[in-house]
Amino acid sequence: MSQDASQDLRQFLDGQKFATIMADPPWRFTNRTGKVAPEHKRLARYPTMDLDDICDLPVAEHLEDTAHCYLWVPNALLPDGLRVLSAWGFEYKSNLIWHKVRKDGGSDGRGVGFYFRNVTEILLFGVRGKNARTLAAGRRQVNLFSTRKREHSRKPDEQYDIIEACSWGPYLELFGRGRRDKWTVWGNQADDDYKPTWKTYKYNSSLAAE
């Protein structure tokens, strides 16, 4: 992915249109002075983007008339996530909550948080166009799922089964890690042989390590 993410995305997609978008942006945290907050060396792991640059990505140019968006956002940046949804042309409707658990099923308290110990992340759900209700499976899907962690910031593979059951393709993943059948994947870690270059959690999600 080049420094000009918008141009890179536009060239990569080359006019393709998608009905379902899933994105896990590299959010940039700031402290109370407005400076980029120290993130325990996470900035060295992958480049972050500021909110305006994420909003400016030309997602709306590559949407079908009726479309769904699934947008990962940290708890602390919920207002930013809602702004991005709107900037990309979606209306917020609901969310899915990922509960991070230990091997014994209890909450995994290794998460970060200034006020509370975060053991959840939010997957915002937005729609665009007419007749944008989820498929039948979505109307039975509860909005909470629990899995174990993988490496830092990587989301659980279980998300794909949920999204594919609830929303129709073509599917586009933004800021993806690795390739997946049925999905077009864009991001600077979207390689077939993607592997983390830093130490991962000893125990990963059920799909990563049984």
Strand order in the sheet with 63-73: 144-147, 91-100, 120-128, 63-73, 18-23, 171-174, 183-186
In a domain, 6, yes or no: yes
Residue with the larger pLDDT of the pair 40 and 192: 192
Whether 202 maps to a domain, the answer reads no
Q: Is the pLDDT of residue 138 over 90?
A: yes
What predicted TM-score, i.e. pTM, was given to this entire model?
A: 0.83
Query: What mean pLDDT is reported for the chain?
Result: 83
22 Cβ contact list (under 8 Å, min separation 6)? 69, 70, 71, 159, 163, 171, 172, 173, 174
pLDDT given for residue 108 in this prediction: 85
The answer to whether residue 194 is domain-embedded is: no
Any domain includes 199: no
What CATH code is carried by the domain that includes residue 116? 3.40.50.150
pLDDT for the residue 42: 44
> Residue 209 above 70 pLDDT?
no
Q: What is the model's pLDDT at position 170?
A: 97
Distance CA 141, CA 162 (A): 8
Domain that holds residue 80: 1-186
Alpha-carbon distance 74 to 95, whole Å? 12
Report the candidate in 177, 178, 163 with the shortest Cα–Cα distance to residue 20: 163
pLDDT at residue 150 in the model: 66
CA–CA separation, 121 and 195 (whole Å):
22
Residue 198 lies in a domain: no
The whole-number average pLDDT for the span 97-106 is 90
Structure-model confidence comparison of residues 126 and 210, the more confident one: 126
In-domain check, residue 180: yes
Residue 190 is predicted with a pLDDT of 58
pLDDT digits (tens, 9 = 90+) for 27-86: 987 654 444 444 444 444 457 899 999 999 999 999 999 999 999 999 999 999 999 999
Compare 179 and 198 and report the one with higher pLDDT.
Answer: 179
Asked if the structure places residue 179 within a domain, the reply is: yes
How many domains does the chain contain in total? 1
